[in-house]
Structure 1
Amino acid sequence: MILHLALAADWDAAHDAGEYRVSTLGRTLEQEGYIHACTGMTQLHGVAARYYRGVTEPLVVLAVEETLLGSPVILETPPGAAERFPHIYGPIPVTAVVSATPYRPPGD
């Protein structure tokens, strides 16, 4: 299972389209080349602290079943990072998301 932090509105829009195509906050799969993901809640909390600080829109954690994706997932170390993150090289079918849980960053 891999995790992706999403704006709730983007996840809601994916239901109509049948797939989720947002890479990260304000960037699409087409712009970035892949969808950013995390291996667990520790990584996700770090991503939230670094990139989603000050976001007032509702957030959700998408739990994605990797075997249902139909796209490659590659663990890569981003420039300047010390750990590897899963990158999903294609859209996320809504059927691959086993749960979408509201998220509030620790300390909020």
Structure 2
Amino acid sequence: MTTSATAFKVLTQQQWADFERERVFRGAPVDIADGYIHLSTAGQLEATIAKYFAGESCLMIVEVDLNLLGDAIRWEPARGGDLFPHIYAELPIHAVVSLQQRG
């Protein structure tokens, strides 16, 4: 299994503002419902945005250092059978290595 050292979480501006204020991200509604925080690799990111964030403006793309999360990361099959990184814990702000705004 090939895994990346970093992965991406797509957030709304409000979710990012809450993350910055609280210093931890507990998940978007879909994450909370599924029991883990969904991430995408660089190669999966555009398809994730197209599928789940179509028509959204001002998205915040958070790059996460997976090495800092240790055993909380699980690579699991999802869309199309591809392996996606999932966080089975809260995401601490210190694991964010870069941020870019879209839209």
- TM-score, structure 1 as length reference: 0.79
Amino acid of the residue matched to residue 34 of structure 1? Y
List structure 1 runs of 4+ shifted beyond 3 angstroms: none
Counterpart in the other structure of 2:34: 32
How many residue pairs align between the two structures? 98
**In 2, Cα distance between equivalents of 1:35 and 1:59:** 17
Q: 2:7 aligned with 1:2, yes or no? A: yes
SS in 2 for 1:5: strand
User: Which position in structure 2 is the counterpart of 1:62?
Assistant: 62
**Partners of 1:4 and 1:75 in 2: CA distance:** 15
Structure 1 residues 43-83: Cα deviation after superposition (integer angstroms, max 9, x where no partner): 01000111111223x101111011223551111112x5231
**1:69 aligned counterpart, secondary structure:** helix
Paired position in structure 2 for 1:51: 52
Higher share of residues assigned helix: 2
Structure 2 residues not aligned, in runs of 5+: 1-5
Residue of structure 2 in register with 1:94 after alignment: 93
The percent identity for this pair of structures is 29
Amino acid at match of 2:51: R
TM-score, L = length of structure 2? 0.83
Distance in 2, Cα, partners of 1:29 & 1:52? 15
User: RMSD in angstroms over aligned alpha carbons?
Assistant: 1.8
* 2:31–2:38 contact (8 Å) kept in structure 1: no
1:39 shift after superposition: 1.5
Ranges in structure 1 where 5+ consecutive residues have no aligned partner: none
CA distance in 2, matches of 1:9, 1:84: 28
1:6-57 per-position Cα deviation (integer Å, ceiling 9, x unaligned): 112101111111101224xxx15432210000121x301000111111223x
Find the residue that maps to 2:9 and give its secondary structure. strand
